[in-house]
Amino acid sequence: MTKVRVLFADTDAMGVVYHTNYIKWFELGRNEFMRQLGVPYTEMEKLGLNLPLIKVSCEYLKFATYDQLLTVETEFDYIRRATVRFNSRIWDENMEKLLVEGYTIHACINHEGKVRRIPQLLLELINKYNISKGE
């Protein structure tokens, strides 16, 4: 989990968070989640791999406002041969009200844009993560 504070620039004319900012915070959550697992995106790039977004879904349940502190929760949903899906939830600071939930799906490609298998290093960490979570 990671925290983010809503900036004035994140809001629209109605004073609430503009909808695309939640997608940006999904990315923040994914990056921090991968870092916490020990595989920041910079390590994937060193392996010659990237995880571009191929699909996003977002359901807006409640709105956030300027200066509100939010909690971004991210977890793996699945990993397939060349794709990975992350589930994301954005909560109020105390995780009492769920504001937004959704997911992103990413393909694994090399620097030339060719689809590649998810690297073994990542698969091993995911298995370790799933076991420690009792899943």
Active site (catalytic) residues? 12
In this structure, the number of other CB atoms found within 10 A of the CB of residue 67 comes to: 11
* Separation of alpha carbons 30 and 35, rounded Å: 8
Q: Which residues pair with 87 in a beta bridge?
A: 75, 103
